């Protein structure tokens, strides 16, 4: 009934509202049938994907046929108690999810560079301390604006290059 009133009123939905929901804090042993029972009350479901590996356990994606059904589900199921766990139901946002993936990808890239050139974490710490002193002595205070990943990448470049010039690419 609530979905009908939403559709009749010519209401504009916020831009983050979409048909795909990201659900967190699920019990690890929840079945797809239980998910359909819980989320199916709010409208027709196109697909449910439950996380099964170590990193995705306790999460799921629920895709509704209609955007208004998804909005109703978020409104009613956020904080809903399932097996003594309170669900966190969010609209799936590609930009936020890809940022997490990009961070992991950058960390993997950094690890590969460390392995390739035989640079340890202790080496990086020493190089970054010396590199910061060197850059500060050259009046390059821009090092403070870099994140730790960038500093490590710069330090690996400095440690592995034979030249005395430092190029910072971004």
Going along the chain from its start, the domains and CATH numbers come out as: 2-92 (3.30.70.330), 101-160 (no CATH)
Strands 81-82 and 60-64: unpaired
Per-residue pLDDT of the chain (170 residues; tens, 9 = 90+): 444 445 545 678 877 889 999 999 999 999 999 999 999 999 999 999 999 998 899 999 999 999 999 999 999 999 999 999 999 999 998 776 666 666 777 778 878 877 777 777 777 666 666 655 554 444 444 444 445 555 555 555 544 444 444 444 44
Residue 110, token pair as written in the block: 């950094």
Instruction: For the chain, give percent helix, strand, coil, nearest 5.
Output: 50, 15, 35
Q: Could you tell me if 103 and 88 are in contact, meaning their C-beta atoms sit under 8 angstroms apart?
A: no
pTM of the predicted structure, to 2 decimals: 0.55
Query: What does the H/E/C string look like for 147-163?
Result: CHHHHHHHHHHHHHCCC
Residue 170 C-alpha from the chain's centroid? 22
Q: Could you tell me if 36 and 52 are in contact, meaning their C-beta atoms sit under 8 angstroms apart?
A: no
Strands 85-86 and 45-50: unpaired
25 secondary structure, DSSP code: S
91 secondary structure, DSSP code: E
End-to-end CA distance of the chain: 53
Strands 20-24 and 88-91: antiparallel
């Amino acid at each position: 009934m609530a979905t009908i009133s939403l559709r009749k009123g010519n209401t504009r939905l916020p831009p983050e509202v979409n048909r795909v929901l990201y659900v967190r804090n699920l019990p690890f042993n929840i079945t797809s049938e239980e998910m359909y029972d819980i989320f199916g009350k709010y409208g027709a479901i196109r697909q449910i994907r439950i996380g099964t590996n170590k990193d995705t356990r306790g999460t799921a994606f629920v895709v509704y046929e209609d955007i208004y059904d998804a909005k109703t589900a978020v409104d009613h199921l956020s904080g809903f108690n399932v097996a003594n766990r309170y669900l966190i139901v969010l609209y799936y946002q590609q930009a936020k999810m890809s940022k997490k993936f990009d961070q992991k990808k950058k960390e993997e890239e950094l690890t590969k560079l460390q392995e390739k050139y035989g640079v340890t974490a202790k080496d990086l710490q020493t190089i970054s301390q010396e590199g910061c002193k060197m850059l500060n002595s050259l009046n390059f205070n821009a090092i403070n604006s870099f994140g730790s990943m960038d500093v490590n990448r710069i330090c690996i470049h400095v440690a592995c290059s034979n030249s005395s010039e430092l190029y910072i690419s971004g």
